[in-house]
Amino acid sequence: MISITQFRDDAVALLESHWPRVRPEGEFRWGAGSDDVAIFGDRPAESELVELARSRAWQAIKFDNGFGWIHGPEQYGGRGLPVEYTAAYREVEMGFQVPDQIFFGVGQGMVAPTILAEGSEELRRRYLRDIYRGDLMACQLFSEPSAGSDLANVSAPAIRDGDGWVVSGQKVWTSGAQYSDIGLLLAKSDRSVPNHQALTMFLLDMHAEGVDVRPLRQMTGAAHFNEVFLENVRIPDTHRLGAPGEGWRVTRTTLMNERASLGPTGSNAALGYMSLDRLSGLVRHFGRGGDAAVRDELAQIAILGRVADLTTRRFVAQTPAGGIPGPEMSACKLLRTELVARTVALVTRILGPALAADTGDWGTYAWATYVLGAPGMRIGGGTDEIMRNILAERVLALPRQT
């Protein structure tokens, strides 16, 4: 097996041949470059498609050079290395001005791991390589208007019809549906049994007849999420994940991987240490470095970020390649949302009215998109309340909430 030192050197060589480094001197400079710190992208649709094309082209280059699915099984296109090599590559890549990688978060972080764990051999060979190479984009079709985070109450019916299924209904808050090729769909396949036994998971062709994707406008003015309407959409039984009625178990596989993908080692630098650099610059720019309360808040954010990062790395490293992350990942998700909440509190304290009115001062009003996107972090991947219940019941073995 290649040494991690040689692996890093090879990654640097590939990246240097395609992209300039980020801030060659390694220090953040106030007023230099973009001041965008949005949690969720707020690009116009046309700009988003341009960036998506750049991202997919880079993903293909990465994959073809052995950096697209580093810890994946070799028989499905992965490189078969330990997960710490994936973390090492991400650290190296953050030092270069690569295209935005957030487009692949759902497909590679949630959908593909579920296919690997629950899909047939045919589905694994058909989809996994293409998802990790960026040839195929994927989304997640779980939430519904009347269910929200209570996924056991999903009501979109899946009716058996010969060698397939017919699904109708509505899904909501679907990230990336507008450019996805397949979707991981949770539907109710049996109304005669309790909810947790009534669900089945499918892979849906997003280009199939009867699929209608409509954008949802957010507080920031962007349309990162969508609602998806399904009208008598046919799905072959070969695209079922798990047995009929096992959708709840398969869902738990997806959600554990989702929480792992939301950890601080992910690619969205606006939620990680880039925000610490910018926060420090913000404190200095407004002359608040002598304020003991502000210094303490900044220190707490730095400490929490480091703890969240190390905790996520430890839990991910304990998960074997192709395995399912455990309920401990709920702790990582909670750490992440707490990091965002503390960042919002500090930014609000420092900026005051400059957060709500654009004065033209670099690095100030731009934080408004971060603040407005923060509630989504407390909901996506399971609400904070659900995460606490999971930790209480499945990690601490406390009684179920009644």
- Judged against a pLDDT cut of 70, whether residue 23 lies above it is answered with no
What is the Cα–Cα distance from 263 to 295, expressed in whole angstroms? Answer: 25
Q: Which DSSP letter does residue 152 get?
A: G
Mean model confidence pLDDT for the chain: 87
State the Cα angle at 43 between 37 and 45, rounded to 5°. 160
Q: Domain map of the chain by residue range?
A: 138-244, 252-395
Active-site annotation, residues: 258
pLDDT one-digit tens code per residue, 284-315: 999 999 999 999 999 999 898 888 878 877 77
Point out which residues pair with 160 in neighbouring strands. 165
pLDDT one-digit tens code per residue, 72-104: 999 999 999 998 899 899 989 988 999 988 899
Residue 31: pLDDT band by 50, 70, 90 thresholds? Answer: confident
Question: Which residues contact residue 137 at a Cβ distance below 8 angstroms, ignoring those fewer than 6 apart?
Answer: 56, 103, 104, 107, 131, 176, 179, 180, 181, 182
Whole-number Cα distances in Å, 163 to 107, 183, 204, 240, 279: 27, 20, 15, 11, 56
Whole-number Cα distances in Å, 251 to 62, 154, 320: 29, 12, 19
Question: What is the model's pLDDT at position 54?
Answer: 96
pLDDT one-digit tens code per residue, 42-55: 667 788 889 999 99
Question: What is the model's pLDDT at position 395?
Answer: 80
Considering the four listed CATH numbers 1.10.8.620, 3.30.420.40, 3.40.190.10, 1.20.140.10, the one that applies to the domain covering 252-395 is 1.20.140.10
pTM score of the predicted model: 0.80
Q: Which CATH class is domain 138-244?
A: mainly beta
